[in-house]
Amino acid sequence: MPETRVGPGEKVRLGTIEGDLEVSQGARIEVDGRLVVPGTAHFEGSSSVEGSLECRSLRVEDGTVQIRGDLTVQETVRADDGGLEVTGAFRAGRVDVDKRLRIGGPAAAEEFEVGGVFEGGSTLTSPKVSVGGKLRLSGKLTGRELEAGGSVEVAEVDLETLEVGGLVRLAGGEVRRSVEVGGRFAADGPFKFGNLDVGGVVQLRGPATGGRVSVGGMMMAEKDLTFEALKIGGMGTVQGNGAGRTIEVGGKFDVRGSLKLTELLEVGGAVAIGEELTGQRLSVGGSLTARRAVLSGEAEIGGSIATQEGAKAERFRLRHRSKATGPLVGNSVEIESKGRVEDIYGGRVELGRKSVARRIFANVVRLEEGCEVEEVEYVESLDLGRNVRCRQPPRKVDHLPPFPI
Amino acid sequence: MWDDRPHAARGPRRREVTDLYATVLEVVKRYHGAARITRVSYGAGMPVDRLRTFLDRLVALGLLRSEELDGRPAYDITPRGQEFLDTYWRMRAFVEVLERPAEPSRSPPGGSRGPHRRGGPDRYDPP
């Protein structure tokens, strides 16, 4: 196959050539319209093409090649110990660049693999993008997989998977299957995701919707967050409303608005809900505060629960030495020994030994040894253990007062 | 690798040696067992000679393993290395929280506001 050679430091003008192109270090190629190479364009060392280049394959070794125009490569682009800069549009098959790839215009390829830094000034379309270091892209990224060892800053994404070691910052978009980030994940606008697994920090500045969320460190959602299952090992804040199936919090979790769950809220640490909590089951080992809490199933409190308007559940079970502030409403309310509660409204209410309550309104009331209660109203039966102290004599009534919630 | 902008007023946090080890581990991890030293050097932004000492240390600590691939060493992260990364990122998140100025705490819910409140203090003082 014929070959066109450009020697070291040479300055030539080329248009359409035959065969391959061999370019040496320091060459500068002026272009008549467009440089068309039917074979391989091979650059040894750093050089430049002052216009658009079209070739079957492109190879760069030990240098950086600048293309001041568009680059169209039918097959592969490879830069060994080298980099590539294209000011215009970029289109290629497989791309493998060791050092830096910089593209000014829209870019598309079957696969991008960049060892160092990948910078794009416009959109990027590719099924697979892998970057060892950093990816910075001013436009939208459309593809299937993106992975990077260092950091990713992209305007918007439309992806299946995103896997990054360090930092991710997006304007928004959608990752349909999974987002896995070691360090920090930030989305500045609306974001949809399949699963979100972040070891460090999650910042969601717009509304976010997705499936399973797992955060090892800290999560901050500035708008509403909708999820399937949320697991926070460290700390989490939702400034808007939260909605999902289950939440498991080992550390601290704060929702400024309301929180709606279809199943379980499990709190090992501390959870604060500014408005209403609704859900099926509740398990609190630490502390829970809310304006009000409404559970369709069982609520088990090992630590403390505090509400302004009250907490309602089918069944309450407060463990030894646990504490409830605000009224409790339940078909069955069981306070184990040395519990401290305020008002209780229920079908059946049992206080374990040495528990303290303010007022009890229930059909059936049982107070074990040493309990202290200010006031009791009951409809069916009252069972008092030894040394129970009632500040006012218990009253048997025909009807209980309306429950607060 | 880490976004230090929350503490912009204080200036960016200086990268410490632990951060560099984490960076190297994350870059190696991306190559799924085929990480060459040159590629890792471009990804981590570290010269090859300096990187070699980091890689040797990480292999010695059992955080990386090295195998011959086409006659040249290739690196992969070990489960222990992944454990290091998980702990590192989590700790970084906690350090960030602890170094922030404390937010004023929201007042906890007051006592009950039920319809049968009959005076007395908001919070119940047991008899």
Q: Identify all chain B residues contacting A272, using CB atoms and an 8 Å cutoff.
A: 106
pLDDT of residue B104: 60
pLDDT of residue B107: 47
Please indicate if any CB of chain B lies within 8 Å of the CB of A272.
Answer: yes
Q: Identify all chain A residues contacting B77, using CB atoms and an 8 Å cutoff.
A: none
In this predicted structure, the answer to whether residue B119 has a pLDDT above a threshold of 80 is no
Report A:16-45 residues touching B (Cβ under 8 A). none
Please indicate if any CB of chain A lies within 8 Å of the CB of B127.
Answer: yes
Residue B124 to residue B127: CA distance in whole angstroms: 9
Contact criterion met (CB < 8 Å) for B85 and A374: no
Task: Give all strands (DSSP E) within B1-127, no chain letters.
Answer: 64-69, 72-77
Per-residue pLDDT tens over the stretch A35-62:
999 999 999 999 999 999 999 999 999 9
Per-residue pLDDT tens over the stretch A223-274:
999 999 999 888 889 999 999 999 998 788 899 999 999 999 988 888 899 9
Per-residue pLDDT tens over the stretch A339-366:
999 999 999 999 999 999 999 999 999 9
Report A:131-190 residues touching B (Cβ under 8 A). 131-133, 147-151, 163, 165-167, 169, 182-184, 186
For residue A283, the cross-strand partners are A266, A300
Establish whether this prediction's ipTM goes over 0.85: no
Cα–Cα distances (Å) from A115 to A59, A65, A78, in that order, read: 16, 16, 11
Per-residue pLDDT tens over the stretch A120-174:
999 999 999 999 999 999 999 999 999 999 999 999 999 999 999 999 999 999 9
- Residue in B closest to A166 by C-alpha: B1
A 10 A CB-CB count for A172 gives 20
Query: How much is the average pLDDT of A6-31?
Result: 97
In this predicted structure, the answer to whether residue A328 has a pLDDT above a threshold of 80 is yes
Contact criterion met (CB < 8 Å) for A166 and B2: yes
Residue A29 to residue A79: CA distance in whole angstroms: 19
pLDDT of residue A308: 96
Which residues neighbour B40 within 8 Å (Cβ) at sequence distance 6 or greater?
A132, B24, B27, B28, B31, B46, B51, B55, B75
Which range has the worst mean pLDDT, A244-253, A365-374, B3-12, B88-97?
A: B3-12
The pTM score is 0.86
pLDDT of residue A300: 92
Residue A48 to residue A42: CA distance in whole angstroms: 12
Q: Based on the number of CB atoms within 10 Å of its own CB, is A306 exposed (0-12), middle (13-18) or buried (19 or more)?
A: buried
Please give, rounded to a whole number of angstroms, the shortest distance from the CA of A114 to a CA of chain B: 8
Query: How much is the average pLDDT of A113-118?
Result: 96
pLDDT of residue A371: 97
- Cα dihedral angle (A41, A42, A46, A50), rounded to 10 degrees? -10
**What domains can you pick out in chain B, each with its CATH number?**
14-99 (1.10.10.10)
Per cent of chain A over pLDDT 90 is: 92
In this predicted structure, the answer to whether residue B127 has a pLDDT above a threshold of 90 is no
Query: How much is the average pLDDT of B92-96?
Result: 86
Please indicate if any CB of chain A lies within 8 Å of the CB of B86.
Answer: yes
Which one of B94, B103, B118, B125 makes the best mutation probe of the A interface by having the most chain A beta carbons within 10 Å? Answer: B94
Residue A203 to residue A168: CA distance in whole angstroms: 10
Please give, rounded to a whole number of angstroms, the shortest distance from the CA of A252 to a CA of chain B: 12
pLDDT of residue A249: 84
Q: Identify all chain A residues contacting B86, using CB atoms and an 8 Å cutoff.
A: 182, 199, 216
Report B:7-66 residues touching A (Cβ under 8 A). 22-23, 25-31, 38-40, 42-45
